[in-house]
């Protein structure tokens, strides 16, 4: 069965191939952000702050799916490139079942302990009821989201990125529609946001399970073969993506803590809006990097170094150009983006706009860092990928959050993310240069 990732891509062909994944990731960002928009507008900034407090738990759940998807995709893509299709299918089935089991365990634990977890993450007496209401609904069904994220990656590996796009668009639109129905029309408050998102999980997560039950693509479910080594390799190879999500949760917690101390609920609401905007624009880089990664894995498994060099050169060109474009767009769309969440006359608007204009400089650098982490994961070098990811999303940014505000006050909070991206890109460039001979991509 012909697999699209085996093609020899031109620049236009590579853009067309990765475009569905880019749009898919932006839709994922959109329907995650949709809760924030509706809650901020129709429930209040306290409820918006509560969502951001629960967010680290959600990030861990998503991280498990992304870890198994990206780490496993590198293995399966390499096996497909080596002509071992039957083995790839057995490992694909095993990874899917393992992801479901992990999702169920984590969902149960978070559901049972949502109150102490919310308090630990910074909820005060005013925010705790919102955190519990939203968190319990989300955690009850979040195992489905783990599978949904897993299949976003495997649709690309199976050469069906457009199908993944269709499901994610349907999922994103349904989340927006049901948020409107539950929050605005039915006046369900923050619970409505939870149920709207859960509905989108079902639409995005159940159909792929049905699709892969029959041989409709190069990948489909077969009798699994238990292989501890494959599971461990998938987790170790994709651990950088898990680190990214866990680190994002930790840094969100740190941002919330610092802003609560400095500016109160308005401060938490402001950083929430900025992080939402950052996620939306950065999702384009994530989409491209996740979309092109299986192609790198396939060509690496095939030992086609000529294609690896072409792909690397084209990918870096796309990332650099898009970094400039996204940076310009982020500045031009600053006010409209913030106005989606909060009216101009609110105190939160001015605070958010001032911070956003500083934080937005990160878009010049984060694209290269996101691509670098995904690239080394695709080459099955989880160590380098994890190093870049941990520096970008945890070590550098956490250090900046804890250090800069002591000397620069609120300006230090806004500078934390751009400074962290600059520090990380220096390391990424060094690793690109140092690993080029081993993998022969440049």
pLDDT at 1 over 70: no
Per-residue pLDDT at 178:
92
- 56-60, 274-278, 341-345, 383-387: least confidently modelled range: 56-60
* pLDDT tens digits for range 148-184: 888 888 887 887 878 888 888 888 888 889 999 999 9
Average pLDDT over residues 199-211: 88
Q: How confident is the model at residue 2 (pLDDT cuts 50, 70, 90)?
A: very low
Helical packing angle, 265-301 and 334-341, nearest 10°: 120
Top pLDDT among 50 and 432 is at: 432
Per-residue pLDDT at 400:
94
Q: How confident is the model at residue 46 (pLDDT cuts 50, 70, 90)?
A: confident
Per-residue pLDDT at 155:
85
Do residues 245 and 238 touch, judged by C-beta distance below 8 A?
Answer: no
Q: How confident is the model at residue 108 (pLDDT cuts 50, 70, 90)?
A: very high
Per-residue pLDDT at 3:
53
* pLDDT tens digits for range 336-376: 989 988 888 888 899 999 999 999 999 999 999 999 998 99
pLDDT at 378 over 90: no
pLDDT at 6 over 80: no
Question: Taking the model in full, what pTM does it have?
Answer: 0.74
- 24-28, 269-273, 335-339: least confidently modelled range: 24-28
């Amino acid at each position: 069965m012909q697999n699209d990732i085996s093609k020899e891509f031109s620049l236009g062909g590579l853009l067309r191939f990765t475009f569905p994944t880019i749009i898919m990731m932006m839709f994922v960002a959109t329907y995650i952000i949709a809760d924030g928009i509706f809650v901020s507008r129709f429930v209040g900034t306290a409820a918006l702050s509560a969502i951001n407090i629960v967010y680290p738990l959600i990030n861990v759940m998503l991280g498990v799916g992304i870890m198994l998807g990206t780490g496993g995709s590198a293995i399966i893509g390499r096996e497909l490139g080596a002509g071992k299709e039957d083995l790839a299918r057995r490992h694909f089935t095993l990874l899917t079942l393992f992801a479901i089991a992990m999702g169920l365990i984590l969902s149960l634990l978070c559901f049972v302990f949502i109150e102490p977890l919310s308090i630990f993450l910074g909820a005060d007496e005013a925010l705790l009821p919102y955190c519990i209401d939203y968190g319990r609904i989300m955690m009850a069904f979040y195992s489905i989201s783990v599978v949904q994220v897993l299949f976003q990656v495997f649709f690309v590996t199976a050469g069906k990125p457009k199908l993944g796009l269709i499901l994610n668009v349907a999922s994103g639109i349904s989340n927006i529609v049901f948020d409107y129905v539950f929050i605005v029309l039915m006046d369900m408050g923050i619970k409505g946001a939870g149920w709207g998102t859960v509905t989108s999980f079902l639409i995005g997560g159940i159909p792929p399970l049905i699709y892969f039950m029959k041989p409709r693509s190069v990948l489909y479910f077969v009798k699994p073969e238990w292989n501890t080594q494959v599971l461990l390799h998938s987790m170790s190879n994709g651990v950088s993506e898990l680190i990214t999500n866990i680190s994002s949760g930790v840094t969100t917690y740190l941002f919330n803590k610092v802003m609560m101390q400095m500016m109160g609920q308005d401060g938490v609401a402001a950083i929430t809006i900025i992080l939402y905007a950052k996620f939306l624009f950065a999702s384009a880089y994530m989409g491209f990097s996740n979309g092109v990664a299986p192609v790198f894995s396939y060509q690496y498994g095939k030992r086609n170094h000529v294609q690896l060099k072409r792909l690397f050169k084209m990918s870096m060109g796309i990332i650099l150009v898009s970094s400039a474009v996204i940076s310009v767009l982020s500045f031009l769309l600053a006010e409209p983006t913030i106005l989606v969440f909060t009216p101009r006359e609110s105190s939160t608007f001015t605070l958010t706009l001032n911070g956003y204009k500083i934080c937005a400089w990160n878009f010049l650098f984060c694209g290269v860092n996101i691509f670098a982490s995904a690239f080394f994961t695709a080459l099955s070098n989880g160590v380098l990928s994890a190093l870049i990811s941990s520096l970008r999303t945890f070590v550098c940014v956490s250090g900046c959050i804890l250090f800069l505000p002591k000397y620069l006050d609120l300006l230090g909070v806004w500078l934390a993310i751009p400074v962290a991206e600059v520090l990380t890109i220096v390391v990424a460039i060094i690793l690109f240069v140092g690993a080029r001979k081993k993998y022969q991509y440049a």
